[in-house]
Chains A and B, each alone.
Chain A
Amino acid sequence: MPVNSFEDEVFLTGIDSNVLKRIFSFARPHRKWIFFFLLIILVTTVTDAAMVYINKIMIDQAVIPGDLRKVIGFLELYGVMIVFQAFSVFGFIYLAGLISEKISFDLRQKMFDHLQTLSLSYYTVTPVGWIMSRVNSDSVRISDLISWGLIDSAFSTFNILIATVFMMIINWKLALVVVFFFPIMVYIGWQFRKRILKEYREVRRLNSKVTGAFIENISGVKVVKSFQREERNLKEFNQLSQPMFRSAYRAARWNALFLPSIQLISSIILAIIIWSSDWQVSGGLMTIGGIQAFVNYTLSMMWPVQDLARVYGELQQSIASGERIFSLLDTTPSIQDRDDAYEPEHFCGEIEFDHVNFFYDDGDRRNVLTDFSLKVNHGEMIALVGSTGGGKSTIVNLTARFYEPKSGEIRICGRDYREYTMESIQSRIGMVLQTPYLFSGTIRENLRYGRLDATNKEIEQAAVKVGADDFIRKFPNQYEEQVGEGGSLLSVGQKQLISLGRAVLADPEIFIMDEATSSVDTLTEHLIQVGMERMLEGRTSFVIAHRLSTIRRADRILLIEDGKIAEEGSHKELLRLRGKYYHLYTSQFREEKEQESSGTII
């Protein structure tokens, strides 16, 4: 079945108190306010129960004796309590809501901040979708638990306790009967909730698959049609949608059965009150108002039970959320500044790889670079060629210190680059990638990303230098044109030019260009070549390119194969060698020229 989804929901059935403790540590800064709203809730529940009790006294002492003035007195008190109640309700909803927003704000920010420190190796193994749900949904679950979950459970617990106290005051024997039934209610409530949760999880799991199936069916509709998969696809889809229906319905049925069962128990309590009323009332132990109050207390006890069962279910989910959040926050960046790292005053473009070994942690841990040594002089332009997977990008990644060597050393300006701060290295390296990434916003904002304090004039000069100014000026909003999410409103070639401009504006000592102009048309490439050449003069640069014109320009060409330098030298030297470079060059030459010609002629 064509389905794409990242199933990341792991469900726990137990409750881990350590995680819980850590979750509630997020509440610590707000503990004064939390204490305050718990207090308000306590007062509210007391008022609630007291109002029922006042009604009892009113019936017994005013309505039955027929004293209307006393009734008015009681109702005045009742009215005051209602107003008081309204203020309390406002207080705790507002407080809890604010705390909830604040905690989720803090959690999101904390995760985001932490994410910025994590190394690239983390991002290559962790799907973006996974991180997104941690930051977006799990944070809300935690903040909801601390605020609303706490309110609901406090409210329910207080409600039950205080109602019991009042019932005790009215008639302690009957109150004991109610208290006896209470655990039964909670048990049944929990049993139901467990089953409902189980089905809901299944529904959620299937739902993400159903959505995935829809997405594939829409994006792959051409294939579906040309391979005539309509009927089989529908049948396969039905294998998802029907189980989803079943689980959803089962959950609904448990839900529909839940309340009546609790209700039945309270009606049994009610019957017991009725049965006992004979000797209670005639014996003077219970008044009519008392019976009415008891009925009210018992009937209103169903809701807290329901809430408690629900909160318990949510608690489990929140703990799972908490664990995932902590797993993110506990990840330490694999590359960190040393404690004594410093920012060098003087920086040069002399780079040396000294017996470097490297492999990626997520793959099969085979060496990508083996005993790799290379010395690049200041101002030299190095072209890296060779087939995919040979190690070209790895060299570049190591130079930018996105990764560090597993053994051996990389020296910049004669010193192991781990002695410098990461920021000092990365702010001096300009990188332009084949799949350029722009941030949504205007073209100007994207260019400015290279140097935040650049003036508008400098930005436009950089654009002119890389040949982007022409097409930018053609947009209706020129430099203020929106680029869309990820730059989706621009062509790849345009994006490449803007990201090149961004790097030029940064004015780095070392330039790294990974297929940076592969999608730029030939004419534009010729145009910017002169400007770029002037730019690169006196700066060290690494260029990974397919275009021969770029390669030929390099001071030194390295043919990288299986993590080693297979051939090395200038263009002419390598051609004379009649080796791998020669082969690569000739076939590339034909391909390129053909494409060029088909571009201009056809």
Chain B
Amino acid sequence: MVKNSLFNLKIEEELPVLDYRLNRSGKRSRLSGILNTMTGFRLRFLFAVCMQVAATLCKTSVYLLLAWFIDTWLVGGDHSVPLFLVGFAFIGLSLVEGFSSFQANHQANYTAERVALRLRNNLYDQIQRLSFSYHDKVDTGDLIQRVTSDVDAVRRFFSEQAIGIGRIFFLYIINWVAIARIDLQLALTTMVIVPLIFVMALFFFSKISKSYEAYQVQDAQLSSLLQENLTGVRVVKAFARQDYEIEKYRKENEKKYKLGSKLILIESLFWPSTDMLCGMQIVISFYLGASSAIAGRITLGEFIAFQALLNWVIWPIRNMGRLIVQMSRSLVSFERVNTVLAEQQEELRQGEKAPEPFLSKQITFDNVSFSYDGKNKVLDEVSFTAEAGHTIALLGSTGSGKSSLLALIPRFYEYQSGSIQLDGMELNQIRKEDLRRNIGIVEQEPFLFSCTIAENIAYGVERDVNREEIMQAAKDAAIHESIMAFEKGYDTLVGERGVTLSGGQKQRVALARALLKNPRVLILDDATSSVDTDTEVEIRTALSRLMKHCTTFIIAHRIQSIMHADLILVMDKGKVIQSGTHDTLIRETGMYQRIFDIQTRIEANLEKEISDAG
């Protein structure tokens, strides 16, 4: 942890990526949660609060000094203290006040920003280390909101709300005490209306936040209406529905306008009505103060100071209401952030090192059963042996358990019964890190990042990769030509700001990405489904050359894609119902034979149709 002294914040220095780990599971109270998040900054924040007190004391002292000056110097005519000293005292007080309030604000902000940085980095890391079962059930939009706007709310809690509430609190206490020192009765009179104003503000701000929410909801509604119109522009044009769309938008737009007007009405009623209350308090206090001054109970200077101090007791109270309402929302945000951090991370380094050399013999499934929810079995006592360097093909309908079976190999999920062994070692004893380093996966709908194609291909390789290697991988995946056809070639950006790749192109880039990693196990989950037949053959030839020492698992629907496999597993409802090579399976009565027969029939049909045409 970088220790910054209170006054020498070396902010230009590189900070550690994770200066404090927040992902401790277990329930804790909200206060201890906040304190834990602030680890390393607690004293600093306390210091900020103390400086706030100091600043307030200075501010109050300015008015007390003014009172003294009027009474002693102007009215009393006692000129024993030189005038220039009085002047410098004012400047001095303002310097101290300025310094204190600067310290209070920037230390609080430093804390807030460091906490936000800590939360962001911890959350980012947490997200990529949570298990698949977590990501399966989480709502992406909600998660994004937690890591962005909720973190920002927590930041504002430290930088604005906590320090702001402290400021108003001390302003009230210190100035009230100062007034009480002048005259207790005067001080007590301020206690009549001020709490009323406070309660009103609290009520108002919690009330207006509801109207504000309604306004926000309408805003979102209007915004998605616009988005739909823009995204569906072809439909709008195809049906020439421009007028209809304009009318639809106008309706919602008007709704927003009405809600906004209502909101502004509430707001414009609140401020003047509390203005009046505050004004009443001031008039009453002025009267009492003036009569005390006339009766000689307080001096003229004290009366003038009282008038000024009174302002600092009354006006800020309204903001207290706002800050408290905001704070209660920030605390909800804090909870939302914390539940993400409290989730159990996936342990990547737990277990034994993988056997070296990796996968030199076989992977064995022995009566493996698996279920996502603990109830419905997705895999039911699956057994087979994959020899090192072999190609294993899986065939079956959607939901037959093919993808689930392959997801067990990199330990994305844990099997519940039976045993999977890799070179004789139980799979769930092997470190996930070791496993995943040696496994390459290509999915049917692969995810590419919005960076260049070259960066996407090199994504999985830790060392620096030169352009030739990337190109070679791309050539093996039969995508090199398509990449070169882009204006910027390998430096073409992918995604929203760049080109949109077709499904087949994406699949091939993902394949290149997996090949460059040089894995010992390659999993192709329907990975060439969008690639045309000719290109697929090309890829298959390249793969059979490259993957001699690599065990390959393939999920595919076309017989041609899998007929060369060393082992074909036909799956149905979580079970392996047939297994063998293409040659043995076509002789067995069963599903594989039926599929094959149909394909032969197709060829015959085609021949017939062509000859019919002449």
Contacts and interface: CB of A to CB of B under 8 A. Distances in A.
Contact of A602 (B74, B290, B396): B396
Given A233-B128, A252-B105, A295 B66 contact: yes
Contacts of A440: 224, 228
Contacts of B291: 68, 71
A594 B601 CA distance: 10
B287 A227 contact: no
A468 B128 CA distance: 42
B294 A135 contact: no
A225 interface: yes
Q: Which 5 A-B pairs have the closest CB atoms?
A: A260-B98, A97-B264, A267-B94, A82-B279, A2-B449
12 contacts: A55-B286, A58-B290, A75-B290, A98-B261, A112-B226, A128-B230, A214-B127, A214-B148, A223-B459, A226-B440, A593-B598, A597-B595
A259 B268 contact: no
Contacts of A244: 117
B17 interface: yes
B242 A589 contact: no
Given A101-B261, A218-B140, A506-B239, A431 B234 contact: yes
B94 A132 contact: no
B377 interface: no
Interface residues of B, number: 161
Please indicate which of the listed interface residues A2, A67, A97, A571 has the most CB atoms of chain B within 10 Å of its own CB: A2
A291 interface: yes
Interface string A480-505: 00000110000000000001001000
A226 B436 contact: yes
A213 interface: yes
B481 interface: no
Nearest to A590: B602
A253 B11 CA distance: 11
B447 A219 contact: yes
Contacts of A438: 232
Contact of B495 (A4, A270, A281, A594): A4
Given A228-B436, A274-B83, A586-B606, A109 B250 contact: yes
Given A226-B460, A439-B235, 16 more contacts: A4-B450, A68-B294, A71-B290, A82-B276, A85-B272, A85-B279, A89-B275, A97-B260, A109-B249, A214-B124, A222-B135, A223-B447, A226-B412, A227-B460, A257-B106, A270-B94
A402 B253 contact: no
A218 B605 CA distance: 48
B74 A277 contact: yes
B264 A589 contact: no
A461 interface: no
Contact of A55 (B105, B307, B439, B606): B307
Contacts, number: 421
Given A217-B127, A242-B15, A105 B246 contact: no
B99 interface: yes
Nearest to A254: B106
A71 B609 CA distance: 112
Nearest to B65: A274
Interface string B264-285: 1101110111011001101100
Contact of B459 (A120, A227, A572): A227
B300 A288 contact: yes
A2 B144 CA distance: 16
B120 A210 contact: yes
A87 interface: yes
A49 B132 CA distance: 66
B329 interface: no
Contacts of A277: 73-74, 83
Contacts of B245: 116
B241 interface: yes
Interface stretch (A14-22, A172-180, A314-322, A422-430): A422-430
Nearest to A82: B279
B496 A6 contact: yes
A121 B461 CA distance: 40
Please indicate which of the listed interface residues B112, B219, B606 has the most CB atoms of chain A within 10 Å of its own CB: B606
Contacts of A215: 140, 144
B256 interface: yes
Nearest to B523: A226
Interface string B108-147: 0110111011001101110111101001000010011001
B410 A90 contact: no
Contacts of B14: 242
Contact of A2 (B66, B265, B308, B451): B451
B346 to A, nearest CB: 8
Contact of B83 (A93, A222, A278, A593): A278
A277 to B, nearest CB: 7
A212 interface: yes
B159 interface: yes
Interface in A44-59: 55, 58-59
Contacts of B265: 94, 97
Contacts of A433: 234-235
B31 interface: no
B502 interface: yes
B238 interface: yes
Contacts of A263: 94, 97-98
B217 interface: no
Given A64-B300, A82-B279, A256 B237 contact: no
Please indicate which of the listed interface residues B66, B237, B294, B614 has the most CB atoms of chain A within 10 Å of its own CB: B237
A71 B91 contact: no
A2 B90 contact: no
B268 A252 contact: no
A90 B249 contact: no
B128 A449 contact: no
A123 B286 contact: no
Please indicate which of the listed interface residues A215, A232, A268 has the most CB atoms of chain B within 10 Å of its own CB: A215
A72 interface: yes
Nearest to A97: B264
A93 B605 CA distance: 80
A272 B610 CA distance: 106
Interface in B184-238: 219, 222-224, 226-238
Contacts of A423: 240
B410 to A, nearest CB: 6
B237 A426 contact: yes
Given A93-B264, A215-B144, A228-B433, A594 B599 contact: yes
B101 interface: yes
B87 A274 contact: yes
Given A108-B253, A426-B238, A589-B602, A598 B436 contact: no
A86 B226 contact: no
Nearest to B69: A274
A328 to B, nearest CB: 12
Contacts of B303: 59, 63
Nearest to A573: B613
Contacts of A115: 229-230
